[in-house]
Chains A and B, each alone.
Chain A
Amino acid sequence: MKMKKFTKTHEWVEVEGKNATIGITAHAAEELGDVTFVELPEEGKEVKKGEALCAVESVKSASDVYSPVSGKVIEVNTELDASPEIINEDAEGKGWIVKLELSDESELDDLLTEEEYKNSL
């Protein structure tokens, strides 16, 4: 069963089994404006919850993307290299950034539900 959670720092994570797909929220993409560059992490990189996972640059600014959970990077969305604007078009779908192998599922409990996230905006 899929489960989708959100962070206060505007990331989303969708979990299926041990795999977590991560991106920035549609709201964050709109706030950033035209995304021009996504600095993707290396596959195999270990990240801790709350650490900077990668960076998304828009014409106007650079923003860190913080990992909602701890784990190991198992896949990156290389489509974003050629077409970073996918994030503006579909931030919570085709604009996903990385997939992690979760190391601690209990961390998901601290994250926001979609409703909680929307209320926080």
Chain B
Amino acid sequence: MENLKRTPLFEEHVRLGAKMVPFGGWEMPVWYTSLKDEHHTVRNNVGIFDVSHMGEIDIKGKDALKFVNYLITNNVEKIKPEEIVYSPMLNENGGIIDDLLAYKYSDEHVLLVVNASNIEKDYNWIVKQAENFDVEVKNISDITAQIAIQGPKAEEMLQEISGVDLKKISYYNFTEGRINGIYCLVSRTGYTGEDGFEIYFDKEAALPMWRKLIELLPKYDGKPAGLGARDTLRLEATYLLYGNDMTDDITPFEAGLKWAVDMEKDFIGKEILLKEKETGIRRRLKGIEMLERGIPRHGYKVFVGNEEVGFITSGTVSPTLDKPIALAMLNKPYYKKDTEVEVEIRGKRVKAKVIKTPFYRGSVKTRK
């Protein structure tokens, strides 16, 4: 595993016996003891994830708000300070460069949280786009640690060490304050479908923060959880994964992210989306359910009769539902609900059908 980056908690994961794997250029824990067990722990109690590999790009300056609104499809002008939006960021062709969270501190300061594997690509793109704006773009990924605390017991557990009243933070809001005595940005966000928090702080404080949380977990029947559980949890909740369900040549309409696109304002890639709106999309990301045995995986082809009509973008056995679930990018008109399709699994065609998503709804508060 050469040239892989490590988070400040690498040694802690190894000490806990985690199986470490390469993930988007990082060496990360995929599970500690059992993916399924960690998955259920997050659904029923609470789990903590080291997500320090995620990227943080700070946008400051007079034009910060105007610039971010031009950069991403969702609208940061419409939200108040201490609120967050989820948004795709598009290239000129309307393809998704990345999906991110935009934390609005003020009209002159917005923090973007981006995917680990895209940090450099995003940063270069953002700097290039910033030329005509009065903003300063700073990549603070290397000095920032992040831990996600997720599950129905997340609030109760984190409150024990939080100087901030967590009840006052509503879904997709954030505040600043001390947790375990460490200065943090704390938001009610996450990518598991469960209620929970993501906390950001100086990487020097990663060790005392992680160890304190590990110490608290047993009281709440909680556990550290790896990226394996994070993936099955997010898929059940139908949260998309960059690189699988979204790429540079998939538009947000195709990915089913219309709700995160504000067509009333200007943004990079809008012209293509306007055209797409006029002509209709040619394909759409949809959930499928297997009608016969087999597990659809990323990249498997989807057929109707002899016609190849799409491909699987993410698939697994859902630990909560105890059955295979998958997302597939399907060509028009085969993405309609109840359409019967076949997935090619190791040379065999296996029957499946298009269903409504999400596959599972957890304790997460409803989106505004």
Contacts and interface: CB of A to CB of B under 8 A. Distances in A.
A33 B346 contact: no
Given A33-B228, A36-B317, A37-B317, A57 B295 contact: yes
Contacts of B319: 59
B71 interface: no
A61 to B, nearest CB: 8
B346 A59 contact: no
A101 B295 CA distance: 29
B295 A34 contact: no
B293 interface: yes
Interface in A54-70: 55, 57-62, 64
Interface string B269-299: 0000000000000000000000001110100
Given A33-B19, A36-B295, A57 B35 contact: no
B232 interface: yes
A57 B34 contact: no
Interface residues of B, number: 19
Contact of B35 (A33, A52, A62, A64): A33
Contacts of A39: 293-294, 346
Interface string B312-323: 000011010000
B228 A60 contact: yes
Given A33-B228, A34-B34, A59 B19 contact: no
A60 B35 contact: yes
Contacts of B231: 60
Interface residues on A, range: 10 to 19
Q: Name the prevailing secondary structure of the B interface residues.
A: mixed
Contacts of A61: 297
A67 B30 CA distance: 28
B297 A62 contact: yes
Given A33-B31, A37-B295, A39-B346, A57 B317 contact: yes
A31 B34 CA distance: 11
B295 A62 contact: yes
Given A59-B316, A59-B319, A60-B35, A37 B293 contact: yes
B336 interface: no
B36 interface: yes
Nearest to B228: A60
Nearest to A60: B228
B286 to A, nearest CB: 22
Interface string A24-37: 00000001011011
A63 B260 CA distance: 37
Identify which of A36, A57, A59 gathers the most chain B CB atoms within 10 Å of its CB. A59
A61 B228 CA distance: 10
B36 A34 contact: yes
Nearest to A58: B35
Nearest to B36: A34
A33 B30 contact: yes
A55 B347 CA distance: 12
Contacts of A58: 35
Identify which of B19, B317, B319, B346 gathers the most chain A CB atoms within 10 Å of its CB. B317
Interface in A72-88: none
A64 B346 CA distance: 9
Contacts of A55: 346
B277 to A, nearest CB: 38
A87 to B, nearest CB: 13
Contacts of A34: 34-36
Interface of A: 31, 33-34, 36-37, 39, 52, 55, 57-62, 64
Interface of B: 19, 30-31, 34-36, 39, 228, 231-232, 293-295, 297, 316-317, 319, 324, 346
30 contacts: A33-B19, A33-B30, A33-B31, A33-B35, A33-B228, A34-B35, A36-B295, A37-B293, A37-B295, A37-B324, A39-B294, A39-B346, A55-B346, A57-B295, A57-B317, A59-B35, A59-B36, A59-B39, A59-B228, A59-B232, A59-B316, A59-B317, A59-B319, A60-B30, A60-B35, A60-B231, A60-B316, A61-B297, A62-B295, A62-B297
Given A37-B295, A37-B317, 4 more contacts: A39-B294, A59-B316, A59-B317, A60-B35
Please name the 5 residue pairs, one residue from A and one from B, whose CB atoms are nearest each other, closest first. Answer: A36-B317, A34-B36, A59-B35, A57-B295, A33-B35
